[in-house]
Amino acid sequence: MHILSKIGAIVAAIAAFSSEAAALPSVEAFGNLPLISQPRLSPDGKHIAMIQPLDGRPAVVIYTVGAPPGTQPAGIKDSAAIIETVDWANNDRLIVVALTSSKVNGKVENFYRALSADVTGSNVVALFKDADPAMSGASEIADFDLDDPDHVFMPNIGRTINGWRYSLYRVNVSTGTAEFVRAGNPDTDSWIMDGHGHVVARINQTERPLTDHLEVLSGNNDWKEIGAYDAIGGLSANIAGLSEDGSGFVHHAAIKASGIDVLTRLDKGTGKETILFANPKFDVDNALHDPWTRRVIGASYVDDKTEYQYFEPAMQNLQLGLEAAFPDLSVHAVSWDLTRQKLIVSVEGPAKPLSYYYLDRQTHQATRIAPTYPDLKDTDLGQMKPYPYKARDGLDIPAYLTLPPNKAAKNLPAIIFPHGGPMARDRLTFDWIASFLANRGYAVLQPNFRGSSGYGEKFETDGYGQWGLKMQDDVTDGVKKLIVDGIADPKRICIVGASYGGYAALEGAASTPDLYACAASFAGVSDLRKFLDTRGDDYGWRSWMLSSWSRYIGDSSDDKAKLQEASPALHADRIKCPILLMHGGADLTVRIDQSEVMRDALLSKGKSVRFVRFDTDNHYMELASTRVRFLREIEAFLAQNIGN
């Protein structure tokens, strides 16, 4: 990969993204990368690092707090790699993780690498710079040592006297050199440390059946197993980290009686488990971590919007104060210095794209840093509201409906926009695609069909094996609800989606051909058995990843008939409406051959199809050029087929 290089005058470059005023905001106003992401305060609070777009690619920008107006920030960019994350190793150095894609034996593969740079964006070094070339990668950080901020701990596969092991290394952030610390055993999958450079536990994964074993390191340098967890179907030990006092582990677990995912405290010595946080209706979304100790200090869950709860009274009082200052919005602190006196706070809502504020608790002043979508006004965004409905079998389906600005909810052209995953969910917040479509005059429905996460174990497991079946019926039933309520014009409905949502769009066109006037898919699966076989080749036939997909889709060998029936590429003859296919050439989650197979099947049947390839982007549309082109293609496709 290209070594990251120093850049200057980033602010001026970013300003070039602004578009001239127009009756409607430009495609770029929605499609450009967010102006700010991942803002991080340095330990001493003197610098803020964040990811900002430069020439349509993510770049790292480093600001000095309190610098005179006009002071240019430092920066780090890469013209080939995609910068994924940024974090502080200490007051003087950053760690940046970048992604490159290249062909290996004729197949595109992704490679992640961690690099370190100083606060001027200079003196860049690759961590593990002298690594064994046979090591699997060098991007994961197991621990930041508060007592030795010049080093981090990183796991990697390397040679030991006992063969290949997933071992632990101590890496100098200034030089990139690594020294061996501790070897894993043949099954070691991950390491748990205490924030001070000490190993606390490890997780070993064994096969037949796939099982995660949590082992604690004792004072005698012995390992004691205190828990074993099913890893089949993408499940795992789900250890979020150490509790705040370090006496136990924080564990994502499901309460059997309710099926709701909660956080528990798992005692290091006895393995005894007690509930730490639970919401009676919704799964825990994330464990919240202190940015410096990396210990778990709270939890978030999603009702309609994301809610935050901290275990420590001082942090919870801060959270309550933020919520009072920004009522009806989702707000929380995303970064702070070691003293917790200087913080960066995120604020967002359906008509309020994410903004960041700098809060000085000593002076009681809050300063807005910047909005993520600066060219959008409140009046550009439609009204988003809950729109629950019942599926045909009586199951309650949560959903959200976004209406176009200044239009009555009657006889509108409509977009059905199922989310990806499918192990995910939509929520009441700004979405750059849904908001764009609403701005262009379309009603947008986002259904959380069965199989979506966040609503308890049963709601999710009800989606197992239901691709093209009940999961698809849930989407169809949402369309019918829009028609019955008079919101959607039944002759002007299009289904659009990415990833699983792309599959749902194609399957909707194949299984309910009279319902949709058009369908558009980005990175959608089209041949289920081919997809599973590719996953097996990529990750191994006994891997947790393949078992996860198989749990949702079915078994490549045992469920051939079901997979064939639910594969839209194998039923292109049923499709009546025009199809738009888009895909990233560097997509390893759903390889581009899934869209190519669909294109070829449609052409062979004389169907209307357009295929757009984004050669250098992946599954997640990480480049501004991809996002803008995606929106332009969608806008033209919808205008042609359902008009507005």
SS3 letters across 392-425:
CCCCEECEEEEECCCCCCCCEEEEECCCCCCCCC
Q: Is residue 148 part of a domain?
A: no
Q: Is the dihedral of CA 446, 448, 451, 454 positive or negative?
A: positive
What mean pLDDT comes out for the span 463-468? Answer: 95
Partnered with residue 58 across adjacent β-strands are 53
C-alpha 549/C-alpha 475 separation (Å) is 20
pLDDT at 159: 67
Higher pLDDT pick, 488 / 112:
488
pLDDT at residue 53 tops 90: yes
- Using pLDDT thresholds of 50, 70 and 90, give the confidence band for residue 80: confident
Return mean pLDDT, the chain. 91
> pLDDT digits over 542-580, tens only?
566 777 888 889 888 889 999 999 999 999 999 999 999
Mean pLDDT computed over 520-548: 82
CA separation for the pair 607, 14 (Å, rounded): 42
The CATH number of the domain where 476 resides is what? Answer: 3.40.50.1820
Could you tell me the two tokens for 216?
A: 């604690």
Residue 590 maps to a domain: yes
Residue 133 is predicted with a pLDDT of: 45
Cα 235 from Cα 551, distance rounded (Å): 11
- pLDDT per position as a tens digit, 110-152: 888 999 999 999 999 999 887 654 455 678 999 999 999 999 9
Instruction: Say what the pLDDT of residue 75 is.
Output: 93
Alpha carbon separation from 8 to 34, 153, 408 (Å, rounded):
19, 31, 48
Q: How far is CA 88 from the centre of its chain?
A: 21
Question: Looking at 540, 566, 592, which one is the last position of a domain?
Answer: 566
At residue 37, does pLDDT exceed 70?
yes
- The token pair that represents 145 in the structure block: 């040592």
Residues 6+ apart with CB under 8 A from 480: none
Cis-peptide, bond into residue 327, ω within 30° of zero = no
Q: What domain range includes position 561? A: 529-566
Question: Looking at the structure, do residues 462 and 422 belong to the same domain, yes or no?
Answer: yes
Using the predicted structure, report yes or no on whether residue 5 has a pLDDT greater than 50.
no
What is the layout of strands, in order, in the sheet containing 342-349? 330-336, 342-349, 352-360, 365-371
Give the tens place of pLDDT for each residue, 151-181.
999 998 876 666 778 899 999 999 999 999 9
Task: Kindly state whether residues 497 and 579 are assigned to the same domain.
Answer: yes
Q: Which CA distances in Å does 328 have to 306, 324, 338, 351, 382?
A: 11, 9, 29, 11, 17
pLDDT digits (tens, 9 = 90+) for 420-437: 999 999 999 999 999 999
Q: Which residue has the higher pLDDT, 110 or 407?
A: 407
**CA atoms of 44 and 27, how far apart (whole Å):** 40
What local confidence, expressed as pLDDT, does residue 16 receive? 36
CA distance 358 to 63: 12
Total H helices, total E strands in the chain:
12, 38
Predicted confidence at residue 504, as pLDDT, reads 98
Domain match, 450 and 477 both? yes
In a domain, 191, yes or no: no
Whether residues 620 and 495 fall in one domain: yes
pLDDT for the residue numbered 142:
93
One domain, residues 538 and 417: no
83 in any annotated domain: no
Within this chain, do residues 435 and 560 fall inside the same structural domain, yes or no?
no
pLDDT for the residue 103: 76
Percent of the chain with pLDDT over 90: 79
**At 374, is the pLDDT very low, low, confident or very high (cuts 50, 70, 90)?**
very high
Instruction: Give the bridge partners for 479, in sequence order.
Output: none
pLDDT score recorded for residue 137: 62
Residues paired with 159 in a beta bridge:
164
Rounded Cα distance between 274 and 276, Å, is 6
Q: Are residues 556 and 593 in the same domain?
A: no
Residue 142, in any domain of the structure:
no
| Residue 305 within any structural domain of the chain | no
What percentage of the chain carries pLDDT values higher than 70? 93
Phi-psi region of 502 (alpha: psi -120 to 50; beta: other; left: phi over 0): alpha
Q: Of 19, 116, 46, nearest to 376 (Cα)? A: 19
- Residues 558 and 601 grouped into a single domain: no
Question: Which whole-number Å values give the CA distances from 311 to 171, 223, 256, 295, in the listed order?
Answer: 32, 30, 24, 12
Which residue, of 548, 566, 584, is where some domain finishes? 566
Q: Which residues contact 408 (CB under 8 A, 6 or more apart)?
A: none
Within a domain: residue 618?
yes
Question: What is the 8-class DSSP label of residue 426?
Answer: -
Whether residues 498 and 548 fall in one domain = no
Same domain, 409 and 510: yes
The domain boundary, picked from 550, 566, 582, lies at 566
In this structure, of 15-19, 194-198, 626-630, the range with the lowest mean pLDDT score is 15-19
Same domain, 550 and 515: no
Residue 1 reports pLDDT greater than 50: no
- What total number of domains does the chain contain? 2
Same domain, 546 and 623: no
In a domain, 431, yes or no: yes
Arithmetic mean of pLDDT, 267-277: 92
Q: Are 218 and 237 in contact (CB under 8 A)?
A: no
